[in-house]
């Protein structure tokens, strides 16, 4: 059961992190090659797989330790041991690299822009993230990615939905939209912290180390991911991204 929940969380996070990168490419950079649903889905699968799959290829030991710490407070253990073998990781890495190259190549063939600025940004970001997650230790890499890449893009998108914030940005005022967003996000942020404290109190085996605390925080992120994905999916549909 714990393994199935972990697999569901990985799949959901993979989907969502891909969502987070398709929007700025399709809307902010106006990438014409993302006009088809097939290309958007393929690009989303590539972008979501970079933080979820590439660290497994480059750092299997740490990846396994994180999953074990994730399951430990609930009495779970790490399954799917075959995933961490050299042959399995090599196969997954080669397959995902081929899918990445194929997706970028198909996008380049579809782009009509000259110069293909959006495609160049897409390709540069994809190659850079491949290298980043392959080389940098997974916990640090994902933490930096989440805070300084994924979250920043969501904040920018949320600010862009507010008429007053858009007008302020048009005049060069960046602080007022950020302050408004911070005020609106504060209540839910405090509620999430309270939920983390409650989760700490009720798990069968509360963590006693920093690693265990981080793992429990990841559990909270897993709980909050589903409603977050639902909201972003609704925004994607309303804004014509999916």
Count of domains observed in the chain: 1
- Per the confidence metrics, is the pTM higher than 0.85? yes
Tokens linked to 156: 């920018």
Q: Name the most confidently modeled range: 13-17, 195-199, 201-205.
A: 13-17
* 74 lies in some domain: yes
Which comes out higher in pLDDT, residue 229 or 216?
Answer: 229
* 215 lies in some domain: yes
Q: How confident is the model at residue 4 (pLDDT cuts 50, 70, 90)?
A: low
Residue reference for tokens 């933490």: 143
Residue reference for tokens 């302050």: 179
CA 2 to chain centre: 22
Contact 52, 96 (CB under 8 A): no
Give per-residue pLDDT as tens, 102-135: 999 999 999 998 889 999 999 999 999 999 999 9
* Predicted pLDDT of residue 1: 47
Q: Which domain holds residue 224?
A: 2-160+203-238
Residue 61 predicted with pLDDT over 90 = no
Percent of the chain with pLDDT over 90: 51
* 28 lies in some domain: yes
* 152 lies in some domain: yes
Residue 224 predicted with pLDDT over 70 = yes
* 187 lies in some domain: no
* Predicted pLDDT of residue 190: 94
* 182 lies in some domain: no
Count of residues in the chain: 242
* 67 lies in some domain: yes
Contact 181, 165 (CB under 8 A): yes
* 196 lies in some domain: no
Which comes out higher in pLDDT, residue 224 or 176?
Answer: 176
- For range 137-148, the mean pLDDT: 89
């Amino acid at each position: 059961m714990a393994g199935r929940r972990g697999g569901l969380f990985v799949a959901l996070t993979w989907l969502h992190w891909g969502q987070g990168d398709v929007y700025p490419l399709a809307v902010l950079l106006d990438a014409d090659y993302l006009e088809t649903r097939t290309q958007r889905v393929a690009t989303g699968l590539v972008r979501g797989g970079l933080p979820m799959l590439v660290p497994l290829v480059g750092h299997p030991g740490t990846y396994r330790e994180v999953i074990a710490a994730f399951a430990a407070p609930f009495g779970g253990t790490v399954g799917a041991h075959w995933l961490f073998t050299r042959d399995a990781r090599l196969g997954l890495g080669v397959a995902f690299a081929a899918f990445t190259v194929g997706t970028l190549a198909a996008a380049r063939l579809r782009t009509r822009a000259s110069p293909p600025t959006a495609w160049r940004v897409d390709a540069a970001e994809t190659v850079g993230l491949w290298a980043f997650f392959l080389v940098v230790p997974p916990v640090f890499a994902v933490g930096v990615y989440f805070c300084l890449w994924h979250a920043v893009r969501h904040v920018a998108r949320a600010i862009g939905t507010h008429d007053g914030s858009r007008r302020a940005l048009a005049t060069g005022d960046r602080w007022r939209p950020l302050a408004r967003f911070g005020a609106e996000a504060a209540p839910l942020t405090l509620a999430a912290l309270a939920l983390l404290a409650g989760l700490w109190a009720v798990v069968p085996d509360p963590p006693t180390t920093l690693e265990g605390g981080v793992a429990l925080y990841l559990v909270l992120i897993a709980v909050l991911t589903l409603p977050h994905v639902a909201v972003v999916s609704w925004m994607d549909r309303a804004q014509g991204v999916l």
